[in-house]
Structure 1
Amino acid sequence: MQLYNKLSAKEREAMLEEAGEDRLTISFYQYAKIGNPELFRNHLFVAWDEQEVLGRIYVAHEGINAQLSVPAKRFDEFKAFLDGIYFLKDIRLNIAIEQDMKSFLKLKVKVRDKILADGLDDKTFDVTKKGEHVNAIKFNELISNPDTVLVDMRNHYETEIGHFQGAITPDVDTFRESLPIIEDDLKDFKEEKNLVMYCTGGIRCEKASAYYKHRGFKNVYQLEGGIIEYARQVKEQNLENKFIGKNFVFDHRRAEKITDEVIAKCHQCGAACDTHVNCANEACHLLFIQCPSCAEKMNDCCSDKCKEIHALPYEEQKALRRGKHNSNKIFKKGRSEVLKFKA
């Protein structure tokens, strides 16, 4: 039984280009009690590998968190498979605003301790007592109310390229960092203000809303389906769009354009730009914002040092990387000291 990828990302990319078939980028999550995550993981991999589904999926005792690329012609088959799993029947699927056949190039289904790294001890509060889910219409009404505090539950590199007007955007690297910061900042408004939260697809708010209710916040709301679903409803119902810029996404597209405003700047020259890239030096791979002019000048790299390494023959680059780890740079995500105009 095959329970792993046989093709490399480059081989898969070539196959997708040759096929030229439409694919749908989809995300969903569900908190549920899964007795044997490893067995469930294998069940998903076998089924989705056969259906030509690609993506990154986390499974844990507490549920599932999935970002996927599904062949458009097999969507009904994919949906029927989900409906055959009792806790995923009729699950809301967040379908991307902008599609790309190469949003994912491998199928990775991983067992984790949690489907979201939140740093919380779930035994200390009732995770089912969550905030009220609101659609785009109700969300717009709430954030127009002067008694509402709107909070972005995403990280700094996400909010930098797009966010809702008037939102508090904590300057954090991880979701777990934001929880105590937000609580401390809003401790004087626990009973008198509406706490309205949003994130990319809703999963971060799902846990955060229950946590904040446990911590004494009385009026807690969350944008159902996150920015992805909000953008869809705004377009379908011709509503006022209160989001500006791009929505950062965790696949090869890196972002979806929600509006035409460019609210970020190139981290190297300061020009208006909201395009995230990874440094071309594989020993660095730093995520940062780079404009086309700097990309050409720097050969797609974040620094002169990386540019020099990237210009070396590939075998020399491999030799320099041998035995070294680049995690520290990867997780700086735009905060590297080499970036003059970082946020």
Structure 2
Amino acid sequence: MVLHNRVSAVELRKRLALEAFKRVTISFYQYAKIEDPQAFRDQLYEAFFKLEVFGRIYVAHEGINAQISVPEHHYETFRERLYAVPFLNGIRLNIAVDDDGKSFFVLKIKVREKIVADGITDPAFDMANRGKYVDAQAFNELTEDPETVVVDMRNHYEYEVGHFEGAIEVPSDTFRDQLPMAVDMLKDKKDKNIIMYCTGGIRCEKASAYMLHNGFKNVFHLEGGIIEYTNKAKQQGLPVKFKGKNFVFDERLGERISEDIISQCHQCGAPCDTHTNCLNEGCHLLFIQCEACKQQYDGCCSEACQTVNALPEEEKATLRKGVEKGLMFNKSRGRKKV
């Protein structure tokens, strides 16, 4: 069989819209030694394709990182196939908190150098020496102590729309930049309890190992990240200390954790936490936009992009020629203004 998608995105979205069954959005990861990532990738693709799994999966020598959507009627079979892999047997599956079943429309499995880009080159770094897990109850108890330091290991645009009460933001656009920044920012707190968290656990687990590698003593990381914390806190009747929306890297762009809206529309400043991508394909900027500004700017981030997006398709294609996507698609704190 062909081990990659050959159908257009337009057609795939149509098929998703016509599905008569429900889907479950799941994320999971595991740090483990994979000898042949390409062969493992191909085996996964064949198995998951047959089960109509959609999503994004990265495979590397250091392990696997996955965000996927599984048809409910295939869920048990999917879990059995996954757990049949020795290093994935019994792995925690993070179930989405706020799920419309439309998180993904295609299956993509890619081989990467690492499952999360970290910039670490020190051969002495060892993921086996990582921080201690804390679950929802332990997290709540530890954070009752004002001396506990809570560190958000997500990007600024994730932190902007939602974070734990009192959490420190490491203001960077990339995880690889955040790691040394976190060490520097917390250098006078090496003997304090430090809890690191992220969306599903993969970044904070590596960050905890990096902090220990750099001489920190009491480092913890939130088991399963924000997703698992929220599910467990609600199941156990615990106070949910996360405020706002949890940014997710799929079609939803966020899942509601609390009713608090802690961010503002980037165009008018009104309370808002809805992320969108500028409809001008030559820009595609990720930004926060309220409904009123969406109507005013036709889903674009600026009047300039609105003007370009209104042009005939041939003219827009001509304007896009030669544009470096990396310069236009910019999530940074220095994002362009209207």
1:21 positional shift = 1.4
CA distance in 2 between counterparts of 1:172 and 1:320 reads 31
Write out aligned runs for 1:323-334 (5 A): 323-333=322-332
Alignment: residue pair count: 338
Q: Go from structure 1 to structure 2 and tell me whether the alpha carbon gap of 1:315 and 1:102 turns closer, same or farther (over 3 Å shift).
A: farther
CA distance in 1 between counterparts of 2:269 and 2:80 reads 48
Write out aligned runs for 1:199-278 (5 A): 199-278=198-277
- 2:167 is aligned to 167
CA distance in 2 between counterparts of 1:20 and 1:331 reads 37
1:333 positional shift = 4.5
1:15 positional shift = 1.0
CA distance in 1 between counterparts of 2:227 and 2:6 reads 32
Residue type of the alignment partner of 1:107? L
Residue type of the alignment partner of 2:224? G
C-alpha distance after superposition, 1:261-288 (max 9, x if no partner)? 0000000000000000000001100000
Residue type of the alignment partner of 2:328? K
1:148 positional shift = 0.8
- 1:123 is aligned to 123
Residue type of the alignment partner of 2:228? E
CA distance in 2 between counterparts of 1:302 and 1:124 reads 45
**8 Å Cα contact 2:157/2:331 also seen in 1:** no
CA distance in 2 between counterparts of 1:181 and 1:27 reads 27
- SS of match in other structure, 1:102: coil
- 1:10 is aligned to 10
- 2:314 is aligned to 315
CA distance in 2 between counterparts of 1:228 and 1:71 reads 20
**8 Å Cα contact 1:23/1:70 also seen in 2:** yes
1:104 positional shift = 0.7
**8 Å Cα contact 1:289/1:334 also seen in 2:** no
1:101 positional shift = 2.4
Q: Go from structure 1 to structure 2 and tell me whether the alpha carbon gap of 1:132 and 1:62 turns closer, same or farther (over 3 Å shift).
A: same
C-alpha distance after superposition, 1:6-44 (max 9, x if no partner)? 222221121122123100110000011111111111111
Segment drifting more, 131-140 vs 143-152: 143-152
1:334 positional shift = 5.9
Write out aligned runs for 1:84-233 (5 A): 84-121=84-121, 123-191=123-191, 193-233=192-232
- SS of match in other structure, 1:138: helix
CA distance in 1 between counterparts of 2:105 and 2:320 reads 24
- SS of match in other structure, 1:277: strand
- SS of match in other structure, 1:259: coil
Residue type of the alignment partner of 2:273? D
Segment drifting more, 141-150 vs 119-128: 119-128
Aligned-residue identity in percent: 55
1:125 positional shift = 1.9
1:319 positional shift = 2.2
- 1:78 is aligned to 78
**8 Å Cα contact 2:95/2:227 also seen in 1:** yes
Segment drifting more, 326-335 vs 213-222: 326-335
CA distance in 2 between counterparts of 1:299 and 1:131 reads 46
CA distance in 2 between counterparts of 1:60 and 1:182 reads 25
**8 Å Cα contact 1:13/1:102 also seen in 2:** no
CA distance in 2 between counterparts of 1:214 and 1:41 reads 31
**8 Å Cα contact 1:287/1:333 also seen in 2:** no
**8 Å Cα contact 1:23/1:72 also seen in 2:** yes
CA distance in 1 between counterparts of 2:115 and 2:122 reads 13
Residue type of the alignment partner of 2:325? N
CA RMSD of aligned residues (A): 1.2
**8 Å Cα contact 1:152/1:198 also seen in 2:** yes
**8 Å Cα contact 2:244/2:262 also seen in 1:** yes
Write out aligned runs for 1:287-302 (5 A): 287-302=286-301
1:300 positional shift = 0.3
**8 Å Cα contact 1:286/1:333 also seen in 2:** no
1:122 positional shift = 5.5
**8 Å Cα contact 1:118/1:176 also seen in 2:** yes
User: Where in structure 2 are there 5+ consecutive unaligned residues?
Assistant: none
Residue type of the alignment partner of 2:99? Q
Segment drifting more, 315-324 vs 37-46: 315-324
CA distance in 2 between counterparts of 1:52 and 1:15 reads 12
1:90 positional shift = 0.7
C-alpha distance after superposition, 1:129-161 (max 9, x if no partner)? 110001000000111112211100111000000
**8 Å Cα contact 2:280/2:300 also seen in 1:** yes
**8 Å Cα contact 1:298/1:304 also seen in 2:** yes
**8 Å Cα contact 2:283/2:325 also seen in 1:** yes
Q: Under a length normalisation based on structure 2, what TM-score does the superposition of the two structures give? A: 0.97
CA distance in 2 between counterparts of 1:13 and 1:319 reads 26
